[in-house]
Amino acid sequence: MGLIIAYILFLLNLMSIIPTMYPLYIWKLVTTGSWRRFGDRLLLKVGEAWIENNYRISRMLYGVQFEVIGEGYQNLKQDGRYMIICNHQSWSDIYIIQSVLNRKIPLIRFFIKDSLKYVPILGHAWLALDFPFVKRSSREQLKKNPELATKDLENVKKVCEKFAGMPFSILNFLEGHRRTPERVQKLLKKNPYQNLLRPHSGGISVVSTALRNSLDAFIDLTIVYPTENPSFLDLMRGKIRKLKVFVEVIPAPLVPIEENEQFAPMSKKMKRWVDERWALKDALISKEKQPK
């Protein structure tokens, strides 16, 4: 019964943004300059309210609480420019990250497959809020035409141009996939971590290089769930009520961002940095899992 109530409330919250989102989106399309920026600000308020109400629903139904640990968390700014990295275990990760950082940094955006812009309501909301849509070639397409990889990277860099000079927060799941038991077993021999999947540094290196003159800091989040293999359904059912989120804010000058865009996709120094971060995450999660 609780799951049905949660589903209805989350759905109602999503539907509640329609009366304000669509008129504001149309306003954006037909205006320019300061008038358009005014519409953008109002749309951001709508997005932040939607995120806040989602958290209120889970807190009201189940008393869900997130314990946030990290000194730099208090110094984040709503007008900052951030790159966010995080371990990825389930679809609930995005909900948790949004809830923890909402209204502390600019609205969090993440790269979305171009085809998802046609999803009713959510797709339109992502468009209205300027989420970056990218066209990615499939593995089969890349095998037939390797040059598509260069085209995909150029597409990502072009998308990043819109964020230069404005406050932004971009979320990047470096593992590329959710950490499911099936995927862990499949990648067992190639994975050096106990609690994580091997991260990929190419994407974040390209984005970081494209935005290197704008970035303030990297926000490194580590979500530690109280159970193994959590799912978003577990969160909606109230099976996950407390969890820890470790936050480390790393100033951009301390991150080895590749300056040459040509070398960014294969940057060795960024790969070493990412591998070091993941080793620290893995050790932290293992420590938290030990019996107290």
Encode pLDDT of 244-260 as tens digits.
999 999 999 999 999 88
Beta-carbon count within 10 A of 80 CB: 18
pTM score of the predicted model: 0.88
> What is the amino acid identity at position 274?
V
Instruction: Give, to the nearest 10 degrees, the angle between helix 147-160 and helix 202-210.
Output: 40
Q: Is 101 exposed, middle or buried (0-12, 13-18, 19+ CB in 10 A)?
A: buried
Contact 201, 267 (CB under 8 A): yes
Tokens 């609780």 label which residue?
Answer: 2
pLDDT of residue 177: 62
What residues form DSSP beta bridges with 222?
246
pLDDT of residue 186: 56
Distance CA 183, CA 187 (A): 6
Burial 19-42 (b: 16+ CB within 10 A, else e): eebeebbebbeeeeeeeeeebbee
Contact 130, 162 (CB under 8 A): yes
pLDDT of residue 234: 82
Backbone φ and ψ for 222, nearest 5 degrees, come out as: -125, 115
> What is the amino acid identity at position 214?
S
pLDDT of residue 76: 94
pLDDT of residue 51: 94
63 sits in the region (left: phi over 0; alpha: psi -120 to 50; else beta) called: left
- Please tell me whether residue 86 adopts helix, strand or coil conformation: strand
Beta-carbon contacts of 26 under 8 Å, excluding residues fewer than 6 positions away, are none
pLDDT of residue 118: 86
H helix intervals, 63-215: 92-101, 122-128, 139-144, 147-160, 181-186, 202-210
pLDDT of residue 189: 61
Contact 279, 195 (CB under 8 A): no
Give every residue of the chain whose pLDDT is below 50, as ranges. 142, 148
Contact 101, 170 (CB under 8 A): no
